[in-house]
Every structure is written in structure tokens, then in C-alpha cells.
Amino acid sequence: MEETHNFEVAVVTPNGEVFNYPNATLTVIHTTDGELGIMANHNPLISALATSEMRIQDKANDYEERLAVNGGFAEFSSNKLTVVADAAEKAGEIDVNRAERARDRAERRLREAHNQREQQLAQAALVRAVTRIHAATGE
């Protein structure tokens, strides 16, 4: 039996499917333990995700998609990667100006935090905003 070099990637949120691509050759996700590259025929896994950028590539068709993913988990088995996230956006759908305003608000809230809880909430908002900006701009 010939070994396949492609696999399916699906990203879902509570609002439904955000992304589906049947021919990925490489997907890079950021787990809570660090960055992980997944290719076809990878060993099965389940892992918690950090709020971060996710990259899906199909090298044969010169295709790449970036998504901003807000936490959740990833499961890979039978050549299908399923990401279940609290929120996810394709790079091309991100309003960069809005994300920059959110980043500025989060930075201000972080500077003005009065306790650890306010600091944690502001830090989480900052990570989400920076992730969205990075996914949208590639910078």
C-alpha cells in the first residue's frame, strides 16, 4: 500500500467550522508544551493548544493559510487533524486595525492592573491581539 503525503485539517469553534483543507502536507501548531509540526502519517495525538498562530501548508500546490487560534485542543488520527478552539480566524478575515486597538487596550490594562487577576486577564487579551496581528500580517 502506498503511503500518503497529504492529510485533512479541520478547525472548528462553538460557532461552527472555520476552516477545512483536504490536502495539507505540513501543519504547524503551538501546543502548551511548544511548537509541533504535523505531517501525514504522524502518530496519533491529542494536545492542548496555546493561543497562537497556526500554519497549514500544501507544498505541492504552493498553498499556505494562517489562522489565529484561541486555545483549545488538537487531535490527529487517521490522517486528519482536528482543532477545536474557543475562537479561530483565517488571516485574511482579521481586521488588523481592530486587533491593533485591542492590543493597545490590553497594554494599557496591563500597565494599570491593580491585582494579579487584572494582570492575567490583560495579559491573555494582549496575547490574543498580538496573535491576530501576527497571523494577519505574517510579521
Task: Tell me: do 126 and 107 sit in the same domain.
Answer: yes
Domain range for 133 is 94-137
pLDDT (0 to 100) of residue 60: 81
Confidence (pTM): 0.87
pLDDT (0 to 100) of residue 2: 55
| Euclidean distance between CA atoms 115 and 99, whole angstroms | 25
Task: Tell me: do 87 and 99 sit in the same domain.
Answer: no
For residues 17-26, average pLDDT: 95
Task: Tell me: do 22 and 49 sit in the same domain.
Answer: yes
Q: Tell me whether residue 1 is in a domain.
A: no
- Beta strand extents in the chain (DSSP E only): 7-13, 16-24, 26-31, 34-38, 45-48, 52-58, 63-70, 73-77, 80-84, 87-90
Task: Tell me: do 87 and 22 sit in the same domain.
Answer: yes
For residues 9-25, average pLDDT: 95
Task: Tell me: do 56 and 98 sit in the same domain.
Answer: no
How far separated are the first and last CA of the chain, in Å rounded? 42
